[in-house]
Amino acid sequence: MTYRPAAVPAGTYRLQIQPEFTFADAAARAGYLAALGVSHAYLSPVLTPAKGSTHGYDVVDHTRLNPEAGGREAFAALVTALREQGLAAIADVVPNHMAVPTPASDNAPLWSVLREGPESPFASWFDVDWSVPDRAILMAVLGNRIGQVLAAGELTLDTTGDEPLLRYYDHVFPVRPGTEDLPLAELVDRQWYRLAHWRVADEELNYRRFFDVDTLAAIRVEDHEVFEKTHRLLLDLLAAGDLEGLRIDHPDGLADPRGYLRELAEASRRPDGASAWVVVEKILEGEEVLPEDWECAGTTGYDALQRIGGLFLDQTGAEPLTELYAGVSGETTSFATVVDAAKREVVAGGLYAEVHRLVDLLAGICHDSIDLRDHTRRGLHDVVVELLVAVPRYRAYVVPGEKAPAEAVEVLEHAAGLARVQLPAERHDTLDLVLDLALGRVEVPGDPRPAEFVVRFQQTCGPVMAKGVEDTAFYRWFRLSALNEVGGNPAQFGISPEEFHAFAARLARDWPTAMTTLSTHDTKRSEDVRARLAPLSEHPEEFREALTRWRELAAEWREPELDGRTELLVWQTLVGTFGADGPIAAERLVDYLQKATREAKDHTTWTAPDEAYETAVRRFAEGVLGETAIVEELRSWSERTAPGARVAVLGQKLVQLTMPGVPDVYQGTELVELSLVDPDNRRAVDYAERARRLAELDGGRAPADLDDEKLLVVSRALRLRREHPDWFLGATSEGGPSGYAPVPTTTGHAIAFARGPIGDPRVVAVATRLPGSLERLGGWGEATLALPEGAWTDLLTGTSTEGGAVRIADVLATLPVALLVKD
């Protein structure tokens, strides 16, 4: 790999840019971010999104910075404010798709294609099937079938402006030149787009989209012209130093992720040969690793998140919590079975159009070859479904015209083996053919369709995983909801320190400047909600007893429609979000439960809400929060498990901030932040409170509570990284590589590792784990830590100690964590 990053951040701080938090608001926090210790502000997408967007992933204009955030002038002021504080910026990039906004005219390239069809200068931007001469682009926005809409007069032609328009309530569409004088029904039928009932999209959509979101149309960034026009502004900002890095959203959706990253590296390359620091939002499943030939610094850190969280879970709690889940929910189904069912549902439902397009490709290939003609459409469909369900990753990286990598062959052949079990014997030959096509083993001279199938099959695997696993199965199986996290596996219950050390060592060796994270805009629960749920793994029997009491107290609020699985989710959510000020607000809980149950798709859905079921869930949640006896029971549980939650809150944060990689702090999480899935995690952050606390800690005040303790850990670790980046990233000032080495302990209740030059470490991080069982064993006793030679000072407490076999009880006398720096 020729990739070499230029300016590598020491630590980043994620800011969600939106109309309620603009570039000017971000600029006003520059001083605080500098005091906190980060080197870079990490901005959500900065290009122009759909009006009112609170996330920015629905870009409509690649040539302008978000006007609702202040535009170019405010962004320039932000860059200036950051530079004055010695900081810089990185930004999120959305290369895979654009918004289909309302009105569509807000997206000029899309508007041009809707009006001019394949003759539009932007026709190559969108992945549209132009084989149909008319009605090529499906606009499924109508509330009724097109005939009913026309009969009701809801669709009108407006000729009062600069160009004729078709209007349907808030929707506006251009009119194909030369059709404006036709009768309305004929005019509608002659457009390059097809107006249709919204339910038609899942079955007949003929443009590639982001997952199953009709309002996000995929773009063909593999086309150099499209890449250039959609990235020019960002590249100019990089060249000017206004940005120093990029986070790439969903690269698995691209036709050629490797090729995209190569073009990005080349386009951002400086005279010294270094390119922009780039990390990719890549979900790695199980032991999957990032392809070595990707020109980037690594992932955005979901792989690290999973391992860090696993350190603070007691693996012996898996069986009793499984039994508890079965008892409350009445279900004994394994998570793997839930995943299989969920993937089948999304393949048959929301992603049917994508599957249909794959089958069309295969049917065309077979029809035109006499050797393949007897593979039927139905057989091809059955095989594609089984393969998509069986692929356990977001994609296998096969490039048309190249020999498939060994790992890709292994993944797809394993999936084919699983599919073979599900298919009747007469489909096995068809399975072999489709497998060979997916691996690029079939070439037909002069026919581009086999290569197209290689790409489209991989582009479909990701949506099946995302919608089937993360957005369905994760909302159906709640043994311990803290495990139902992006990039995670709820069936894997915790990891050992040895497993973590092995992972961290690989990261230091292979991807030392990748990003690490604990909370993002996409996480289902914030890091601290997960930390508050961690004690359940150590106290499953106590939780069972408490849950029994809580359920008895809540009997009057439990209606027949409420299922046990959802009820268990309610209780776990209440436990995870019970903070110093008490329980979560009813409005936040109800909003979350509506999203969670609709994502689960088995009682209610976004497109077909079940009012009776949702009312039962809402009534139960509001009733529980309104019952004083239940709230006091929850408070009691929170107080009893507070020591364990404290250990997880501080421990996982210190590990993330000191392990290999570039740590990101999601906005607000430098204090305990008990947020749920978006949009709950985009709520306003009280920066004045954080700045006040930080100033008081810097003034010598001892931490007053867990918020202060977490802020102390975050600020001291980030400042250390910024002051000595070579101890943590890449080559050291002494010329050797920055290392990672486990520090031996005589107990499994501590995790410790050293950072700095190999053979001469300068930093040792120590964290407590599994405090419940540690307490049952009588505490640390004479357990020791093999601290490297020298004099060491804890940046968190100021205490000093000499190297050698030191008592852990002494090192962790004040806090459950220590950040030791060699004097």
Q: In this structure, what CATH number is given to the domain that contains residue 144?
A: 3.30.1590.10
Tokens (6 digits) for 750: 């501590």
Judged on CB neighbours under 10 Å (0-12, 13-18, 19+), 491 is middle
- Residue 43 forms part of a structural domain: yes
464 in the same domain as 343 = yes
User: In 3D, which of 237, 241, 221 has the Cα closest to residue 229?
Assistant: 221
Q: What pLDDT score was predicted for residue 211? A: 64
pLDDT < 70 stretches in the chain: 1, 132-135, 211, 730-738
CATH number at residue 759: 2.60.40.1180
The total number of structural domains that make up the chain = 4
Residues 84, 113, single domain; the answer is no
Taking the C-alpha atoms of residue 362 and residue 365, their distance in angstroms, rounded to an integer, is: 5
| Secondary structure letter of residue 416 according to DSSP | H
Closest CA to 468 of 589, 632, 349: 349
Q: Are residues 345 and 461 in the same domain?
A: yes
Asked whether the beta carbons of 626 and 476 are under 8 A apart, the reply is no
Phi, psi of 194 (to 5 degrees): -115, 115
Structure tokens at 162: 């600069």
Write out the residue range of the structural domain in which residue 110 sits: 104-217
Residue 672 lies in a domain: no
353 within some domain: yes
Write the DSSP string, 69-122: GTHHHHHHHHHHHHHHTT-EEEEEE--SEEE--SSGGGSHHHHHHHHHGGGSTT
User: How many residues make up the chain in this entry?
Assistant: 823
Q: Identify whether residues 74 and 111 lie together within a single domain.
A: no
User: Quick check: is 159 in a domain?
Assistant: yes
Task: Check whether residue 396 and residue 449 sit in a common domain.
Answer: yes
- CATH no. for residue 268? 3.20.20.80
Contacts made by residues 407-410, CB under 8 angstroms, sequence distance 24+: 408/439, 409/439
Q: Alpha-carbon distance 619 to 601, whole Å?
A: 20
Rounded to whole angstroms, how far apart are CA atoms 6 and 3? 10
- Which of 470, 488, 512 marks a domain boundary? 470
Tens digits of residue pLDDT in 582-593: 999 999 999 999
Alpha carbon distance 372, 334 (integer Å): 39
Task: Identify the pLDDT of residue 50.
Answer: 96
Q: Are both 131 and 153 inside the same structural domain?
A: yes
How many helices (H) and strands (E) in the chain? Answer: 29, 24
Report pLDDT digits (tens) over 402-433.
Answer: 999 999 999 999 999 999 999 999 999 999 99
Q: List residues bridging with 753 in a β-sheet.
A: 742, 765
Is 756 part of any domain?
Answer: yes
**139 occurs within a structural domain:** yes
Centre a 10 Å sphere on the Cβ of residue 522 and count the other Cβ atoms it contains. 18
Strand partners, 705: none
The confidence score (pLDDT) of residue 735 equals 45
Cβ distance 47 to 64 under 8 Å? yes
On whether both 246 and 394 belong to a single domain, the answer is no
Backbone Cα Rg of the chain = 28
Does residue 16 form part of some domain?
Answer: yes
Tokens of 407: 């790992």
Q: What is the DSSP letter of 283?
A: P
Single residue among 192, 217, 242 that ends a domain in this structure:
217
Give CA separation, 734 vs 760, 761, 762, 788, 809, in Å: 10, 12, 12, 19, 34
Q: How far apart are CA 178 and CA 157, in angstroms?
A: 14
